[in-house]
Amino acid sequence: MPKPAPRDVVGPSKLRLWRILGPGLITGAADDDPSGIATYAQAGAQFGFQLAWTLLLTYPLMVAIQAISARIGRTTGRGLAANIRLNFPDWILQGTVSLLFLANICNIGADLGAMAESSRLLLPAIPTPAYLAFFSLVCAAGQIFLHHTRYVALLKWLCLSLLAYFATLCAVHVPWLPFLKGILLPRLSTDSNFWLTVTAILGTTISPYLFFWQASQEVEDTKTVPIREPLRRRPNQGPDALSRIRLDTLIGMGASNLVALAILGTAAATLHVHGVHELTSAAQAAEALRPIAGDFAFALFALGIVGTGLLAVPVLAGSAAYALGEARQWPVGLSKQPTHAKSFYAAIAAATLVGAAANILKISPVKALIWSAALNAVVAVPVMCLIMRIAASKKIMGEFIVTGAWVILGWMATGLMAIASLAFLISLVLPNS
């Protein structure tokens, strides 16, 4: 007699918990990419523990917008770009996808550059272009040639690379009372650099590519996991599916922000205390740690940059390819064979290789970070508005429309990002005080 199919729900077993964690965990871990690491390290180096509260503030907002994105994917069986294509004017779709693709390429370039720089700190004999080529090929080939379920399993294990930042925090002397005060007691400033950094943190933690990736991975699960189907087709799966999405997202975003706090705390307790207040990359943060915190902390920090980059670059390239493919109505999905989705996989390869080429062309890592953050700021607010409208549409979501606290948190996240985006864009044209 065959065994009954397992339910799409969380049980008490730790093994089952690890099995059901997926899109939310990977998305949260990918949020701590090398560009994000540079942002959190710069915040700690420049302002000490003063900005730790921002990561407590963003947590419920991240959970809300990511869970809503996942819910759209699981309910409709389509990614965000496909839902925008079917329900909004074409100019909105094309503008959104074009800006997302460009922002992701800039972010990929910055991340690959940080990975190469960090690797050279550990093994300086190998030239930077060789590292760029190696990491680009590894990130692209994994998505193209590995089976989707194996690749997702690999990405989940790469999430463990984030533990390097907890180990680094434990390896340095941290004044825990000031750290706790920084988390719980916001201290504001009139300094334009302070608000620019706040905006950068918000833009780093709430990024458009994360929305597209998590929604698309929920769609992939309906194709590769036999018991999971779009909720519009199988509404009886709704309670279990939504419980899984909620827990997956709570844990994934929680892990993301705890890692960010560990990075900020490490930089505040070491670099800030010793007068190192300006950083230009994640790799420079690792290098600056060596004389202050020792070789062990330096090596952990540098290895963490490489590990998180191997996780984040595929997510950036994949989310861009999902959005572009759905907008162009190509066959899309990592569960498809490359011969059955040639344009989709070509987009993944192109985004990765163009990002790598940006480094070879000597584009400044700092400028790459600034422009990727600016483009993300431009894209985030309209995309979040579209997500909230889709989530509230009975026509699109059926009985699974988003209501109550999710709506409040989702629009709060959108409003906060609108303010942060406007402040960031203004800061690009006005001189700092």
* pTM for this prediction: 0.89
Could you tell me if 334 and 144 are in contact, meaning their C-beta atoms sit under 8 angstroms apart?
no
Nearest to 139 by CA among 287, 309, 295: 309
Between 15 and 92, the more confident residue is 92
Residue 281: left if φ>0, alpha if ψ -120 to 50, beta else—which one? beta
Q: Is the dihedral of CA 158, 201, 20, 138 positive or negative?
A: negative
| DSSP letter assigned to residue 233 | T
Provide the pLDDT for residue 296: 84
Provide the pLDDT for residue 147: 82
- The tens digit of pLDDT for each residue in 275-325 reads 888 887 777 788 888 888 788 888 888 898 999 999 999 999 999 999 999
Residue 255 exposed, middle or buried by CB count within 10 Å (0-12, 13-18, 19+): buried
Could you tell me what percent of the chain has a pLDDT over 70? 90
Distance (Å, rounded) from C-alpha 354 to C-alpha 421?
26
Buried b or exposed e, range 389-405, using 16+ CB within 10 angstroms: ebbbeeebbeebbbeee
Pick the CATH number of 22-429 from 1.20.1740.10, 2.40.33.10, 3.90.209.20, 3.40.50.1010: 1.20.1740.10
Cβ partners under 8 Å of residue 234, min gap 6 = none
Could you tell me if 156 and 251 are in contact, meaning their C-beta atoms sit under 8 angstroms apart?
no
Distance (Å, rounded) from C-alpha 29 to C-alpha 21?
12
Rg (the chain; Cα; Å): 21
Structure tokens at 221: 């699960």
Could you tell me if 295 and 68 are in contact, meaning their C-beta atoms sit under 8 angstroms apart?
no
Nearest to 45 by CA among 256, 234, 289, 224: 289
Residue 234, Cβ neighbours under 10 Å: how many?
13
Side-chain-facing half-sphere of 381: CA atoms under 13 Å: 16
Strand, coil or helix: 77: coil
pLDDT grade for 10, boundaries at 50, 70 and 90 = very low
Per the prediction, the chain carries an average pLDDT of 87
How is the chain split into domains, by residue range? 22-429
- The tens digit of pLDDT for each residue in 74-110 reads 999 999 999 999 999 999 999 999 989 988 998 898 8
Helices (runs of H) and strands (runs of E) counted in the chain: 19, 0
pLDDT grade for 239, boundaries at 50, 70 and 90 = very high
Structure tokens at 247: 């827990």
